[in-house]
Amino acid sequence: MSEERKTIYLCLAHMSEKGLEQKYVKEAFDTNWVVPLGPNVNAFEKDLENFVGENKKVVALSAGTAAVHLALLACGVGPGDEVCVQSFTFCASSHPITYLGATPVFIDSEKDSWNMDPDLLEEAIRDRIGKTGKKPKAIVPVALYGMPYDCDRIMKIADKYDIPVIEDTAEGFGSRWKGRVLGTFGKFGVLSFNGNKMITTSGGGALICADDESKNNIMWYATQARDAYPYYQHSAIGYNYRLSNICAGIGRGQMTVANDHIAHHKHVQRLYEEFLSDIPGIKVHKAPNADYDANFWLCTITIDPSVRIKGQENAYKTVIKNAVGGAAGVIHAVDSPVTDCQPNENVEALRVFLLDHKIESRPVWKPMHKQPVYKNAPAYVNGVSESIFKIGMCLPAGPYVSDDDVRYIVDTIKESVG
C-alpha cells in the first residue's frame, strides 16, 4: 500500500450525495431561522417519526445524552431512586442518572448479544426491592454497537414489575428486533446523531415518545420549562436541550441516505466475516440469530489471548499522551499507563499496529461497573462484559470504508500476527 494512503476512520457519517444538507442549512440562514426551533426541526422530527413507525412521536434534542436525561426525568427519577442500566455501554447511558441524584444499578451482559442479561435484570430488581423496600424507577437496556437486546424478555420483566423502559438506541439507529425498529418497545427510545453515528447532525439526538402528550411534556422540559404566558414564567426546572434548526437541516439531508448507510454497514460486516474467517483466534462478533437485525454501527472482533501480535511486548509501557477515540483534545492527564481493568496486551498491540498503518480502531467500551467513578454503585455481574472488554476491539465500518479498505484492514491484521 502507498505511504500516501488516507487514514481509515472508525466510523464517520458522510453527507448525502444530493447535497440536501447544504440546501436545508442555506434555507435556515436565508429565512433567519438560526435558532433551536424552526421548519427544519419540525420536518426532521416528522422524518424520524416516519422512519421509526409504530405511530410514535419524536422530539429532536441537542444530544443523545440529553434524551436519556429527559426520559429519566419523565419517568419520575429523582434523588434516592435507583435505575437498572446496562453496564457494557458508553457513559452517556448512566451519567444522566446521577444528574438527577439517583443511583445506577449496573446489569451485566449476555454472552451472545453482549447486551443486558434478562436473568440478571430480574435478579437485580428482586434484590433491590428486598434491600431498599422499593423497585427501581426505570430500566435502560443498550443496543451495544447496534446489536439489539432481547426486547421480548426485557419488556416482559418490565411489565411484570411495572417499571418503565428507556431504550438507549444511540448506537442502534435502524436496528430491529423481530422486524420492529428499536426504540419503539419501551416508554421512550433514545437516538444519537453525533458525528460518528449512523446518520449525523454534527451533534444532536432525539427522544422517541409514545404519543403527543408525552412529546409535548418532553419538549416543555427541553425548552427551559417555560409556561404559556407572554412573559417568562417557570413552574419547573427545565433545560436548554432543543436541536438547532441548522443542525436539523443536516439531519433532513441525512435521512435521505439513512437506509443506504445501514445497508453499507451490514455489507462491511459481511466482508469482515468472510475475510477474517481464516485467522485462528480472531472472531467477528455476529448476531445470535435472525431475531437480532443489527445495523452494525461498528464491527467488532475478539482476539484470543493466545494470539501473538507484533510489538506486544511494548504494550502499556508508556503513558498515552492523547485521548484514544472520542472528541479531539479532550483528555484528563494520567500518571500510569495501566489500570486494574484493561484490554489484554495483544489487543493494545493490535490497536497500535493498525494506527501505525493509518487505521483507526479502539477497544470496546469499558464496563461501567469497572469505572472508578462508579466504584460504589450496585452491580449484578456474571463476568461477561469484563471478559469481552479484555479481548474486544472495534474496526472501521462507516460509509467511507470501501471494500478495498476492508481488505487492507484485514491484510494489516494478518500482517500483525506474529
Helix (H, G, I), strand (E, B) or coil at 359: strand
* pLDDT value of residue 144: 98
What residues form DSSP beta bridges with 226?
234
Class of domain 20-257: alpha beta
Identity of the residue numbered 227: D
Q: What is the pLDDT of residue 80?
A: 97
What does DSSP assign to residue 92?
G
Please state the rounded mean pLDDT for residues 91-117. Answer: 98
User: Can you read off the three cell numbers belonging to residue 47?
Assistant: 422524518
In tens, the pLDDT along 320-371 reads 776 766 655 666 788 899 999 999 999 999 999 999 999 999 999 999 999 9
Tens of pLDDT along 128-167? 999 999 999 999 999 999 999 999 999 999 999 999 999 9
Strand, helix or coil at 383? coil
Q: Is 63 left (phi over 0), alpha (psi -120 to 50) or beta?
A: beta
SS3 (DSSP) at 107: strand
Supply the DSSP symbol for 38. S
Which range is least confidently modeled, 28-32, 312-316, 329-333, 414-418?
Answer: 329-333
- Position 340 scores a pLDDT of 93
Query: Is residue 386 within 8 Å of 88, Cβ to Cβ?
Result: no
Amino acid residing at 254: Q
Q: Which grid coordinates belong to 257?
A: 441516505
Q: What are phi and psi of 226, to 5 degrees?
A: -85, 130
- Rounded to the nearest 10°, the torsion over CA 72, 298, 5, 264 is -110
* Range in 29-43, 97-111, 127-141 the model is least confident about: 29-43
The domain defined by 259-416 folds into Aspartate Aminotransferase, domain 1 (3.90.1150)
> How much is the pTM?
0.95
In DSSP notation, 178-239 reads TTEETTSSSSEEEEE--TTSSS--SS-EEEEESSHHHHHHHHHHHBTTB-SSSS--BSS---
Per-position b or e across 26-56, b if 16+ CB within 10 A of its CB? ebbeeeebeebbbbbbebbbebbbebbeeeb
pLDDT at 1 over 50: no
Amino acid residing at 155: M
SS (H, E, C) 256-325: CCHHHHHHHHHHHHHHHHHHCCCCCCEEECCCCCCCEECCCCCEEEEECCCCCECCHHHCCCCCCCCCCC
Nearest CA among 358, 374, 300, 360 for reference residue 326: 360
Among 58, 60, 44, CA closest to 254 = 44
d(CA 247, CA 377): 36
Quick one: pLDDT at residue 277? 97
pLDDT the model gives residue 33: 86
Residue with the three cell numbers 500510569:
336
Contact 22, 373 (CB under 8 A): no
pLDDT at 392: 98
Contact 18, 253 (CB under 8 A): yes
Distance separating alpha carbons of residues 247 and 36, to the nearest angstrom: 9
Q: What grid cell was written down for 237?
A: 426546572
Indicate the domain borders of the chain: 20-257, 259-416
Average pLDDT of the residues of the chain: 95
Q: Which of 406, 296, 399, 305 is nearest to 354 (CA)?
A: 406
Backbone phi, then psi, for 95, in 5-degree steps? -55, -45
Cell triple for 179: 422486524
Give pLDDT, residue 326: 61
pLDDT in tens, 209-242: 999 999 999 999 999 999 999 999 999 999 999 9
